[in-house]
Structure 1
C-alpha cells in the first residue's frame, strides 16, 4: 500500500493535497515516510507548499471556535462536528478506534469504504468553504474580528448597507449642491 502511495505521489508531484491534521510524526505525512523507510522503501518527500491542511485553514478563516471538539452526537473531533453541522453523509466513515478494530479483524473493505467516504467528506467541506456555504459555530467576531476593515468588508457584501450608503451619499450631494447654489445666488 505504501509503495503504491509513494508511486502515486511521484506521478503527481505537481498536485496539491488536501488533508486533515496530517502534521505530526505519529499521524501525518512524516509518519508515512518513516514507515516506508523502515520497510526498506525510498519515500517521495511531499513539499509543504503542496500540502493543504483544511483543518488549520478553517481555524484561520473562522477562529478556533468554528466547531466543537466533540460533535452533538458525541463523536470526537472537529471533523465530525463540521460533518453534522453541514449534514454531510458519512455513513461509512469510521473513527480511529473503529478503524483499528476493522484492521485487526481483517475488515479491509470496511477500511477502504471509510477512506473513500472521508475523501468525499473533505472534498465536500472544501467545496462548501470555497463557495462560502459552510456552516460553522463561529460568531461574527470569530469570523471578522472587531475591526473597521472587517466592518467595511461586511458592508461591502451587503446590498442593503450599500443601498443606504448610496442614498445617503446622493442626499448629501443634493444638499451640498443646494447650499452651493444658495451661496452663489446670495452674491447677486
Structure 2
C-alpha cells in the first residue's frame, strides 16, 4: 500500500528585532484554514529544533501547522564560532521567540497560535512582547532546575554539573562545549 508522502518542512530564516537571523522549519498545510492552529515549538536549552521534528510531523499529520526554530547560537541559528558570542535566556525569549510569534501572525494570519514549550522553552513564552496572541500553552518540564529538588541520590552530582563544571568550562572556553562533552549542543 502506498501512503501519500507528507511534504518536507520548509526551512526559513527570520530576523529577530535586533537583526540576528533565526533559523527553523515550517510544516504548512496547502490550504488556509482559519480554524486550524499553528503550533510554535520552543526547545529546551541546548536542544536543536530538529530534535522535535517527529513531534512536529505528528502535529502536522493531525491537522496543525507547525513552526520549530533554534535560539541564537544553537543549530540552525548558529553562525560560526561561539567563543565570545553573547546570548542569554532573555535574548532567546524577548528576541527569538518574539520573532516566531510575529512570523506566525504574518505567515498564518487569523489562525490561532498555540505554543508547546519544553523546559526553558516553556519559560520563554512569558518573554515575548506580543504573548497576548497566544491561545494556548502546553509546557513540559518547564521549571527552574533547582539542584535540591532532585532526588537525594543524584543531588550532589547535579549541583556539581550545573554549578561547578558548566560555569568553569564555560569560563575557560568562552562558551559551553556541550557537544564535545556529550551534553547536547554547544551553548553560548
TM interval, short-chain normalised: under 0.3
Q: With a CA cutoff of 8 Å and minimum separation of 6, indicate the structure with the bigger relative contact order.
A: 2
Between Structure 1 and Structure 2, the one with more helix by share is: 1
TM-score (structure 2 length as normaliser): 0.25
Higher strand share: 2
TM-score, normalised by the number of residues in structure 1: 0.25
Say which one has the larger Rg: 1
